[in-house]
Structure formats: C-alpha cells, structure tokens
C-alpha cells in the first residue's frame, strides 16, 4: 500500500494543498501535515528552544489534517519524529505552491525546503509549484495537480538517489509537456521601504524576473509552456 505525506508552505487551508492531496489519493493513503499559517519564503527554518503547537483540522473536503504552528521543515521533522503514526511514507510531496520556485527561489522556498527536510529523514520528496500567484481556487491548480500525479507515479516506480528531491514548476494554463531542466538564474529587484520615523522597515519590490532565453533551464521551460523537473 502506497503511503504519501503531503505538506506545503502556503498553509494547511490553502487551495493548492487540497488539490494536491486529492490528486495523491489516486495513488494511495495520504496524510496531511502542514503549517497552520502561511510560511512562504521562510526557507529551511527549524524551530528550536520552544514548543510547537499542533492541532487537528480538516481540509475543505472534510479530510483530516494536522496544523503545525511552525515552519514547513518543522512539519516534516515532527512527522518523522513521531507525529505521524505511519512514518516512513513512500514519498513526501510538498505543494502545490502559489507561485513558481525557479532558480535561486529554492533558497527561500518553504515548499522546497520541506522536501529537503524529508531527505534528511531518509524519505525522497517532490516539490510542486504553480507559476500563478493569483491562483485562489482549487480549480486553478487542476493542471498542476495532473502534473504532480504524473511525476509522483514516476518517483514511486523509479526511486530517487539519497538526499535528492525533484523540484517541479508548472506554468499557468495548458502544459505542453514536462522537461528535465537545470536551475536557471533569477533576477531580484528588492527595495527597502522605511517608516516615517525610521523605526521599522519592509522589503518590497516587483516579482522577480530572470534569464528566460537559456534553453535547458527551469525558467526557459516554464516561460515556454512546459513543466520543469529539476533534481536537487
């Protein structure tokens, strides 16, 4: 019996994780352990020296889940250390993230670092992201869920090398196919916003761009309508 653990960084009640969990149920039993609140761009944060509250909850379709008041990496660590009664899963699947995780995005991404945390505990993982920051409905993730299902089927039949994950990015709209890709180069244009009394600050700026005209990269693939698959 296939057993999959599903997590994300957008939060346990985000539409992307519901779409992913529903798709993964076609392959076997699914357990959802995810952050109680949005943890986007939290990176590989691990909570130390304080307690991590966990509470049972349900997804919008009524299926059970665990809401962790911590980071995506905390979710996986807690599951591995005893929160999950069925650990080890065949695979950890993280997503579906609202927004792509291309190039250097992976250093910020809680979606990707949850998958990396899984490898630390000896379980291969797949991270799935959708290049659509306006994806607010479960239906918006249908194509990404279809890609996730195809990739996870392969990952279950052809085991990944130790400490390796698959980072999958899906373009908005129809997907032409799946391309094996290396990491591309993101370009960030962050700016500093200062309060009137200079006592507080915010990092702001437009969506990152990148080098899109380099064939073989994840940015090129997604920019040209393909889902990118990048081993990390």
Q: pLDDT 10s per residue in the chain (232 long)? A: 999 999 999 999 999 999 999 999 999 999 999 999 999 999 999 999 999 999 999 999 999 999 999 999 999 999 999 999 889 999 999 999 999 999 999 999 999 999 999 999 999 999 999 999 999 999 999 999 999 999 999 999 998 888 899 999 999 999 999 999 999 999 999 889 998 888 899 888 888 889 999 999 999 999 999 999 999 9
Q: Which run of H or of E encompasses 209?
A: strand 209-210
CA distances 193 to 84, 105, 197, Å, are: 42, 22, 12
pTM of the model: 0.94
In angstroms, the CA 110 to CA 147 distance is: 20
Cite the residue boundaries of each domain of the chain with CATH code 3.40.1210.10: 3-178+218-231
Separation CA 106–CA 87 (nearest Å):
26
CATH architecture of 3-178+218-231: 3-Layer(aba) Sandwich (3.40)
């Amino acid at each position: 019996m296939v057993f999959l653990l599903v997590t994300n960084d957008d939060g346990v009640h985000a539409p992307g994780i519901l779409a992913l969990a529903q798709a993964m149920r076609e392959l076997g039993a699914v357990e959802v352990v995810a952050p109680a609140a949005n943890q986007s761009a939290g990176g590989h944060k691990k909570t130390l020296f304080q307690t991590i509250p966990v509470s049972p909850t349900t997804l919008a379709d009524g299926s059970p889940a665990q809401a962790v008041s911590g980071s995506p990496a905390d979710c996986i660590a807690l599951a591995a250390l005893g929160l999950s009664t069925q650990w080890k899963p065949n695979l950890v699947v993280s997503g579906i993230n609202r927004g792509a995780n291309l190039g250097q995005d992976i250093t910020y991404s809680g979606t990707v670092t949850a998958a990396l945390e899984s490898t630390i505990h000896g379980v291969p993982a797949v991270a799935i992201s959708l290049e659509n920051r306006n994806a607010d409905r479960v239906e918006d993730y249908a194509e990404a869920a279809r890609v996730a299902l195809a990739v996870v089927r392969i990952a279950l039949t052809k085991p990944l090398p130790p400490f390796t994950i698959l980072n999958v990015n899906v373009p908005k709209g129809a997907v032409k196919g799946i391309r094996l890709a290396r990491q591309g180069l993101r370009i960030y244009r962050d700016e500093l916003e200062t309060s009137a009394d200079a006592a507080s600050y915010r990092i702001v700026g437009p969506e990152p761009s990148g080098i899109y005209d380099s064939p073989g990269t994840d940015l090129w693939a997604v920019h040209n309508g393909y889902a990118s698959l990048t081993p990390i």
